[in-house]
Structure 1
Amino acid sequence: MIDFTVVDLSRLQFAATALYHFLFVPLTLGLSFLLAIMESVYVMTGRDIWRRMTLFWGTLFGINFAMGVATGIVMEFQFGMNWAYYSHYVGDIFGAPLAIEGLMAFFLEATFIGIFFFGWDRLPKVGHLAVTWLVALGANFSALWILIANGWMQNPVGAVFNPDTMRMEVVDFAAVIFNPVAQAKFVHTVSAGYVTGSIFVMAISAYFLLKGKHKDLAKRSMAVAASFGLASSLSVVVLGDESGYLATEHQKMKIAAMESMWQTEPAPADLNVVAWPNQAEHRNDGELKVPYLLGLIATRSISTPLPGITELVGRAEHNIRDGITAYTALQEIRANPNNQAARNVFAQSWHNLGYGLLLKRYVDKIDQATDAQITQAAWDTVPSVTPLFWSFRIMVGLGFYFILFFAVAFYLSARGQIGNSRLLLKIALYSLPLPWVAVEVGWLVAEYGRQPWIIEGVLPTFYAASGLTMVDLAISLGFFLILYTTLAIIEVFLLVKVIKHGPAEGNPLSPSFPASPHLPVGAAAGPER
């Protein structure tokens, strides 16, 4: 029987390392494009202040990039360490995008970031600008391939289960790459990173302006971040809506749980703005609704019904019974590979094999499961509703806040008053942690909302864990928490040190950047031009 304490510790360890890692990723994505924009202005205008802006924000980018690499490499080892059966079961599909990410994207990014820092006096301006854009593209290509892998876990397309190898195998790699869920997740996620980078630049620039330091650099930085952030925040909301629409097609239970919708309502369904989910009794103890809004958003129609949790549990029960048929046929194939009748049965029902495996939580031989166990396994397909419901609303609320914030900042920037409003500057400074709150709760909605599946409808999470002991996991979990916390503290310390020193030439944590070869000696450290 499965040791669920080991499974829970494995999940906790991966969740902790993923949450830590995702502290660094969004800022890398956002700053990379902001650097490219700033250096583009420098190349077009020749004004050295834009070069110094690129150097300053590039130093902060470099610190964050190094920490992101350190935390990301460790995460990948967990697939073989904590989730060995998962790696065996779907390694042919999941491993391919990760391998391409390392070969095509990460090496591109890691190679050119060194040239970005040390090539200022060795490359012409246009050549160095091309390097900066390649760093930005590498960072985003890296996110693309990782999210293709993750998107397949949400919507497993282009693969079939091979009863002879007992593994999922690719039959259509193009379907894996162009998976609509992966594409929507990619644009939504990188847009969230752009918002994070924009808020970061806005907050640090606001700090400078409130202190009366580096005003010219700070105002220009805020103007760029306000424009980029407004476009990005609008993109986050629009593409978040697209991601939700696709989840309505492929992950109906996640949508029902996010909205705490226990019963199927007449189309179009009402939206619960506020609700107090009662999972034990399968109802809400209280709720505040907006009529028709959920149906219009989730289905983009007035006639398409949105299934509630109870109806979806009934569908899961049917799938579990079909999964028992698939499991029984699979056992017959393993006993006699030449049993064509069993192969025909399995070919018709293998899509629900994962639902049958949910019964392994309660009985070793799933073909002997009772009706009560089947019903219990069907209710296991419902994730914990309360954290999903409120996490989603925090994410959406912050999304609309960012649109309002950047719209005001853009308006003031267009009027040349970006640094004159102390209220806006204080709001910008205090908003610094908010994009990280948004991306972390967004991650919770995406990943925790998929439970009990590690691969939606294909492989239960508890079935994918390695056969480790509690001691093994406790030691590794403690080590990772100490390591990641240390790295986070180091990053904050280094960022604060660079920010306090300011964007002047000769920053002690920057490479030794020479004065611009396009200006007289000493001009770079003089007045802005």
Structure 2
Amino acid sequence: VSAGYVTGAIFVLAISSYYLLKHKHIAFARRSFAIAASFGLAATLSVIVLGDESGYELGDVQKVKLAAVEAEYETHPAPAAFTLFGIPNDEEEKMDFAIQIPWAMGIIATRSLDEEVMGIKDLKEIHRVRILSGVQAQKQLEKVKDGTATPAELEMFERNKDDLGYALLLEPFTDDITQPTPEALEKAVDYSIPPVAPLFYSFRLMVVAGFLMLALFIAAFYYSTKHRITQPRWLLKAAVWSLPLPWIACEAGWFVAEYGRQPWSIAEVLPVHTAVSNLSVSDVVTTLVAYTLFYATMFVIGFYLMKKYAKKGPVPPEDDNKLDDAIGLGTQGANA
């Protein structure tokens, strides 16, 4: 919801700035600029607070996604540093050219200075154990289903049944998940971690876009309170060019949320490769093409209408100019 508020505020700020740059609808643009600046600043701060809470939740319940987003290959001593930028090296499982802020990740993810943020290597070892546990549960499951399980086997199944989903990670790499080869096990362990680089860069793209919008709203709010909206033309131009930022941030955030849960459709229960439907390829292609054409058409129509009415403005130009002159905010006043 807060991200939607930010998107709306940026849109209003950009259109208002466009009017001010073109010396059109100045009275209206001044008011809408000031409202968008104050509302957008509050909404952006709300998004940052909620994002911080999301980071804490990741550290608690989605450790794999957090490790991948931060490219944390090693479990470093607490408190962990936050990597501003670097180049993830999956082959050697390390971060190249890392620029870090000490302690920041530990505070964000654990709210403490003494709790570790688990790295990818340690998570893989945990997954290895759970895959093998799931294999044992899968073996016992067959006996449970046909009613031949002994009390000891039932007890073993109850002990390992929570790891059945991990055994399913072996399916792409072996024909019999109850008899995995060492090679299949290694591939399943690697498969249990989402690709690091796309998540690492997408998250930082989202954060950069978010803080650019925060800086824009702070500047816009400052000049609004000083009644100097029309003076810094760089700010007006920046507001216009910032129009795509909320969409970029939202798409990057969506990518992190969805791609970061791979390989699971239901975490630790149902892998994506097992969750496929029974639809034919032609059905899927037809549906995908239909949705793509529909939403592309809606986008073109929406873009055309927004552009048309943004240029037209809120009221006829002659009425707006009269209002500008009445309150002393005409073109000459704006240029003063």
TM-score for the superposition, normalised by structure 2: 0.89
> Aligned partners of 2:248 and 2:60: how far apart in 1?
27
> Aligned partners of 1:525 and 1:203: how far apart in 2?
21
**Contact 1:206/1:429 (CA < 8 Å) preserved in 2?**
yes
> Aligned partners of 1:436 and 1:379: how far apart in 2?
32
1:391 aligns with 2:202: yes
1:204 aligns with 2:12: no
Task: Report which of the two structures shows the higher radius of gyration computed on alpha carbons.
Answer: 2
Of 12, 15, 36, which residue of structure 2 is paired with 1:225? 36
**Structure 1 residue 445: deviation in Å?**
0.9
Question: How many residues are aligned here?
Answer: 323
| Secondary structure at 2:178 match in 1 | helix
For 2:92, give the aligned amino acid: E
**Structure 1 residue 303: deviation in Å?**
1.1
**Contact 2:37/2:221 (CA < 8 Å) preserved in 1?**
yes
- Partner residue, 2:104: 293
What are the Cα deviations for residues 297-346 of structure 1, in whole angstroms up to 9, with x where unaligned? 22222211111111000001111112123323332332239977655444
- Partner residue, 1:411: 222
> Aligned partners of 2:206 and 2:28: how far apart in 1?
31
- Partner residue, 1:492: 303
| Secondary structure at 1:324 match in 2 | helix
- Root mean square deviation, CA, Å: 2.4
For 1:461, give the aligned amino acid: V
**Contact 1:504/1:525 (CA < 8 Å) preserved in 2?**
no
**Contact 1:412/1:418 (CA < 8 Å) preserved in 2?**
yes
**Equivalent runs, 1:16-415 vs 2, <5 Å:** 190-336=1-147, 344-415=155-226
**Contact 2:191/2:263 (CA < 8 Å) preserved in 1?**
yes
What are the Cα deviations for residues 252-308 of structure 1, in whole angstroms up to 9, with x where unaligned? 111111111111111112222221112233223432233332222222222111111
Of 276, 291, 307, which residue of structure 2 is paired with 1:480? 291
What are the Cα deviations for residues 144-182 of structure 1, in whole angstroms up to 9, with x where unaligned? xxxxxxxxxxxxxxxxxxxxxxxxxxxxxxxxxxxxxxx
1:438 aligns with 2:245: no
Instruction: Using the TM superposition, name which of 227-236 and 267-276 deviates more.
Output: 267-276
| Secondary structure at 1:367 match in 2 | coil
> Aligned partners of 1:476 and 1:297: how far apart in 2?
41
> Aligned partners of 1:197 and 1:342: how far apart in 2?
59
Of 218, 229, 236, which residue of structure 2 is paired with 1:425? 236
**Equivalent runs, 1:494-513 vs 2, <5 Å:** 494-504=305-315
**Contact 1:313/1:378 (CA < 8 Å) preserved in 2?**
yes
C-alpha change, 1:377 and 1:269, in structure 2 (3 Å) is same
C-alpha change, 1:500 and 1:303, in structure 2 (3 Å) is same
For 1:355, give the aligned amino acid: Y
**Contact 1:278/1:284 (CA < 8 Å) preserved in 2?**
yes
Q: Which runs of 5+ in 1 are unaligned?
A: 1-189, 506-522
Identity %: 44
**Contact 2:143/2:149 (CA < 8 Å) preserved in 1?**
no
> Aligned partners of 1:229 and 1:293: how far apart in 2?
26
What are the Cα deviations for residues 33-68 of structure 1, in whole angstroms up to 9, with x where unaligned? xxxxxxxxxxxxxxxxxxxxxxxxxxxxxxxxxxxx
**Contact 1:205/1:222 (CA < 8 Å) preserved in 2?**
yes
